[in-house]
Amino acid sequence: MSQIRVLVGTRKGAFILTSDGKRERWNISDLHFAGWEIYHLKGSPAEPDRLFASQTSGWFGQMIQRSDDGGETWKPVGNEFNYDGVPGTHQWYDGTQHPWEFKRIWHLEPSPGDPDTVYAGAEDAALFKTTDGAQTWHELPGLRGAKGHLWQPGAGGMGLHTIVLDPNRPERIFVAISAAGVFRTDDAGQTWRPVNRGLKSPYEIPDPDAEVGHCVHRIAIHPSRPQVLFMQKHWDVMRSDDGGESWREISGNLPTDFGFPIDVHANEPETIYVVPIKSDSEHFPPEGKLRVYRSRAGGNEWEALTNGLPQRDCYVNVLRDAMAVDSLDPCGVYFGTTGGQVYASADSGDTWNPIVRDLPAVLSVEVQTFP
Amino acid sequence: MIRVVLPYHLRTLTGVDGEVLLEVESPATLGAVLDALETCHPVLRGTIRNSITLQRRPFVRFFACKEDLSHDPPDAALPDAVAAGREPFLIIGAIAGG
- Spatial contact of B47 and B55, defined as CB atoms under 8 Å apart: no
Q: Cβ contacts (< 8 Å) between A58 and chain B: which residues? A: 59, 96-97
Cβ–Cβ gap B9/A57 under 8 Å? yes
pLDDT per position as a tens digit, A256-315: 999 999 999 999 999 999 999 999 999 999 999 999 999 999 999 999 999 999 999 999
Cβ–Cβ gap B94/A80 under 8 Å? no
Virtual CA dihedral for A305, A309, A310, A314, nearest 10 degrees? -80
Q: Cβ contacts (< 8 Å) between B8 and chain A: which residues? A: 35
- Spatial contact of A9 and A39, defined as CB atoms under 8 Å apart: yes
Low-confidence stretches of chain A (pLDDT beneath 70): none
Question: Does B15-93 carry CATH code 3.20.20.210?
Answer: no
Amino acid at site A124:
D
DSSP state of A199: -
B96 pLDDT more than 90: no
With helix as H, strand as E and coil as C, how does A132-174 read?
A: CCCCCCEECHHHHHCCHHHCCCECCECEEEEEEECCCCCCCEE
Cβ–Cβ gap B51/A57 under 8 Å? no
**pTM for the whole structure:** 0.96
Cβ–Cβ gap A59/B94 under 8 Å? yes
The predicted complex's ipTM stands at 0.93
Residue-range domain boundaries for chain B? 15-93
Question: Taking residues B19-37, what's their average pLDDT?
Answer: 96
The whole-number pLDDT of residue A209 equals 83
Give the pLDDT band of residue B94 (cuts 50, 70, 90).
confident
Give the pLDDT band of residue B97 (cuts 50, 70, 90).
low
pLDDT per position as a tens digit, A54-97: 999 999 999 999 999 999 999 999 999 999 998 899 999 888 99
Chains A–B, number of C-beta pairs less than 8 Å apart: 41
Residue-range domain boundaries for chain A? 49-166+187-196
